[in-house]
Structure 1
Amino acid sequence: MINPSQAVPAPGPALRLLSLGAGVQSTTVLLLACEGEIPRFDVALFADTGWEPRAVYATLDRLTVHAEQHGIPVRRVSAGNIRADALDPKHRFVSMPLHTLNPDGTRGLARRQCTSEYKIIPLKKAARELLGYPHPRRVPCGVYAEQAIGISTDEIGRAKDSGLRFLRNVFPLLDLGFDRTRCMEFLAGRGFGQTVKSACVGCPFHGNTGWRWIRDHDPDGWAEAVEFDRAIRHGYPHATGRGQALRGRYFLHRSCVPLDQADLDGPAKGKRHLRLMAAESASDEDGDPDGCSPWSCRSGKPVTAAARLTGSEDRTA
């Protein structure tokens, strides 16, 4: 942590941070830093929603030990448990992009704020604290943290600016030319070949491959997802308890049928409505969620190659 009383900010970033999801790409970035292939991070931050697959938490535990042996502390930050909060009638409304079946038979997606609330806000808060300027203190001009994001070359369109003056996103895998396949090969060569994608167990953006993986490899997570799917059928308990039942019916699976009845092995049907938010191509039905990483959802501001080199993005405090 830097001294808040420092009068003249030093050139360059005051801190180097990694937004760690413990999935394939961000795990690769952390191991590259451990090996000295990219600059070492001062801290790796894992935004914990409380509902990741057991395999992700197992990878995170291994990474924590490995990284700290190389001088990189791994710190978990959290705004709460998204599953428990959504089912708690006393907790304020939790907005997840649930699939909706409207009374007239049309389909859509509920509003999505979970990425911001459970990932971006805790990470932003942690960055401020590590810089020495917790909210509501203003971070002085010129003081910023460099934050590495695990975006590979095959998903370059997801590279987004943070939108914050004190937090500058960088993308080491783009600079190194790593695609997802190369990341997986890199991990396999270092004993992390079983690393899985990081996404909430109950993420409505799961394709059939993701749901099958949870069903077949994380039975406790599958049981939780099935129960959650039933519990939110007519809205969140907080809303219904106040007489504000949501319009229509709500589902985790894109087919708008109960999760434990959904055909996870058959061909995709009726997914046109998902493109409102997921923007998936016809070949992505079986893909896992790709829009929930902090600052890399499709609605964010893209970072151009020139901006990555010059740091010229327009940032607000």
Structure 2
Amino acid sequence: MLALSANGRLPKADYAIFADTGWEPRAVYRHLDRLEKEIAAPAGIPILRVSSGNIRRDALDPGHRFASMPLYILNQDGKQGMTRRQCTGEYKIKPIKRQVRELLGYPYPQRIPKDIFVEQWVGISTDEFHRAKDADVRYMRNRHPLIDLGWSRTDCVRYLSSLGLADTPKSSCLGCPFHGNAQWRHIRDTSPDEWQDVVEFDAAIRQGNARANAGGNRLLGQAFLHRSRVPLDQAPIDHVTAAEWAARQQELDDRAPMEEELENGVVDGCSPWACRAEADLVRDDFGLAS
């Protein structure tokens, strides 16, 4: 959408906002720098980087209120579960809304008049039109330009390729539990130090986040980043699923949903208003979904 706006295919955006969890892959930060230099700055579109902190550091800090990640749990009785996902609300939605309020001139806790709002573009393509939703606050009105254009994911990739941006990386936390085997292998095989980082984090959260431990509220089971519920450096990430073979052979229609999710991660992409996993919405002072 930024490129489409910069090149006149969409109206010129006033701002682009990047919500930084503090734990994105280095490739994402490099790509963001490139977009700012080659696409946004020449078009006069400021990129605003906002943050609520570093999610990795916060998770291991017993003095910090940790917004839980969706960790895979293995209970003592052998039953499996997942912790509640609050990270999207805390580290994506909240800082974006805070920035929008400041741009409108009504920082929290000021009330925003009913007739004051921003039009927010959300990059959902026609493949995932079911994820297009209205904003949950009056001062933000969601629009989905890719759906308006009738663009699919394939159309987006084709356009990015025409601009020399075919290597656009997927934006998500380095240690996101929704990674599939292909993503875990990519980290291990292309960035050994980032792989060591996530392996160490996986071991550190085995009994839950640091604050829970400090308060004596340890998990009754064990927490893991990989859905197999074994330590990440022992997880079966080299298992190449039917989905990956199908992708290699361009026979995507035949892949099994469970195999696809195991290999490529939960199907839906990761972004503030369209995260991979749905969660119950809880209201707080910012009107956030947490």
Relative to the length of structure 2, the TM-score reads 0.87
Residue-by-residue CA offset, 1:33-63 (whole Å, 9 max, x unaligned): 0001001111100000001111111110011
* Alignment-derived partner of residue 285 in structure 1: 262
| Structure 2 residue identity aligned to 1:44 | A
Percent same amino acid among aligned pairs?
55
The equivalent of 1:30 in structure 2 is 2
CA RMSD in angstroms comes to 1.8
Q: Give how far 1:96 is off.
A: 0.6
2:228 matched to which residue of 1?
255
Counterpart of 1:285 in 2: which secondary structure?
A: helix
Q: Is the 2:240–2:263 contact (alpha carbons within 8 Å) kept by the matching residues of 1?
A: no
Deviations 1:260-292 (A, max 9, x none): 001112266xxxxxxxxxxx9323222245353
> 1:7 aligns to what?
none
Structure 2, unaligned stretches of length 5 or more? 242-255, 281-286
Asked if 1:210 is matched to 2:183, the reply is yes
- Aligned letter for 2:257? S
Q: Secondary structure at the match of 1:76?
A: strand
Contact 1:161 1:300 in 2 (8 A): no
Give the structure, 1 or 2, with the largest relative contact order (CA under 8 Å, sep 6 or more).
1
* Residue from 200, 211, 231 that aligns with 1:238: 211
Q: Is the contact between residue 161 and residue 295 of structure 1 (CA under 8 Å) also seen in structure 2? A: no
- Structure 1 gaps of 5+ residues are 1-28, 269-279, 302-315
Cα 1:300/1:103, change in 2 over 3 Å: closer
For 1:299, the aligned partner's letter is: E
Judge conservation of contact 1:120–1:295 (CA < 8 Å) in 2: yes
Q: Which position in structure 1 is the counterpart of 2:73?
A: 100
> 1:217, CA displacement in angstroms?
2.2
Residues matched between the structures, number: 264
Residue matched to 1:299: 278
In the alignment, is the contact (CA less than 8 A) between 1:53 and 1:218 conserved in 2? Answer: no
- Supply the distance in 2 between the matched residues of 1:175 and 1:300 (Cα, whole angstroms): 27
More deviation, 58-67/116-125: 58-67
Alignment partners' CA distance in 1, 2:257 and 2:100: 35
TM-score normalised over the length of structure 1: 0.80
1:42 aligns with 2:14: yes
Q: Helix, strand or coil for the counterpart of 2:16?
A: strand
